[in-house]
Chains A and B, each alone.
Chain A
């Protein structure tokens, strides 16, 4: 299925969870926040939150700023 991650289209396996996606992208879950269709996905449900076709996913972290 197709999803949009941080503005880019990406093909991922059907039934992938947020945890699967982070693993695929090699992103540690501790230091990021994930949003699907503008709603925050709490870390506690990364393993059970199943993504669906067309989901808009944002994965953010902290960078230098003032």
Chain B
């Protein structure tokens, strides 16, 4: 399949980049802009927070990001109940005039693992309200199938805890999810280095979403480029079809014509 025609489709929208990038934790807006630019990402996540009423001179994220250039994916980070997440999504839609939301309902501050019960509850309501719901969830196929049945536009299982950089800890779970759901599977959270992103893509994931791996790198702009290349390489490797793993060697050079 030529790379140019290999697009990511989410809820009828088409994207040429399979890398989704967050906008948090950069040391400056300028650094963030450069990283976003070089990453080639078309979908970027944002958080919804109170406007600073007392200091109006503070710069705002959207002074640096053109919403016409990027598809903004507001998250519900920091929400621990379905009600809070739903409220945040409604505010996000009003602020951004888009139905896309990254739904996360957290269960615990230490692990930031999803509260899947609350997640399902929120997803159901939001889908009914017309949102395009992309849920951050556990790497559990039963849960992912439930989210798909509810009408989520994708499922976004974690590779490892948010911000941990531990990589894809359970590739077999991701594979099982890939074999059993038909919506795009996007690994969200856990990527630390470019190789992790490539592994996610080689498994057959539709995309990878990350923030800390880029923003927290010593050189975020260079890491953004590395991630872009890794996602492309991993995708091509998946499409190309890898050789089977074998325990013993299989010579690459012919045995015929050996000098004796």
Contact = CB atoms under 8 A, between A and B. Distances in A.
At the interface, is chain B mostly helix, strand, loop or mixed? Answer: mixed
B60 A65 contact: no
B48 A64 contact: no
Q: What are the 8 A-B residue pairs with the smallest beta carbon separation, nearest first?
A: A65-B47, A66-B211, A66-B22, A33-B94, A33-B95, A62-B46, A64-B23, A64-B24
Given A6-B51, A40-B91, A62 B96 contact: yes
A50 interface: no
6 contacts: A8-B53, A33-B91, A60-B48, A60-B51, A64-B46, A65-B24
B146 interface: no
Contacts of A33: 48, 91-95
Given A25-B53, A31-B62, A59-B51, 19 more contacts: A7-B50, A8-B54, A32-B51, A33-B48, A58-B50, A59-B53, A61-B95, A62-B47, A62-B72, A63-B24, A63-B61, A64-B22, A64-B24, A64-B61, A65-B46, A65-B77, A65-B211, A66-B22, A66-B162
Contact of A60 (B72, B77, B95, B211): B95
Contacts of A35: 87, 91
Nearest to A41: B94
Kindly name the residue among A60, A61, A64 whose own CB sees the greatest number of chain B CB atoms within 10 A.
Answer: A64
A25 B163 CA distance: 35
Interface in A24-54: 25-27, 31-35, 38, 40, 42-43
Given A38-B87, A66-B162, A60 B24 contact: no
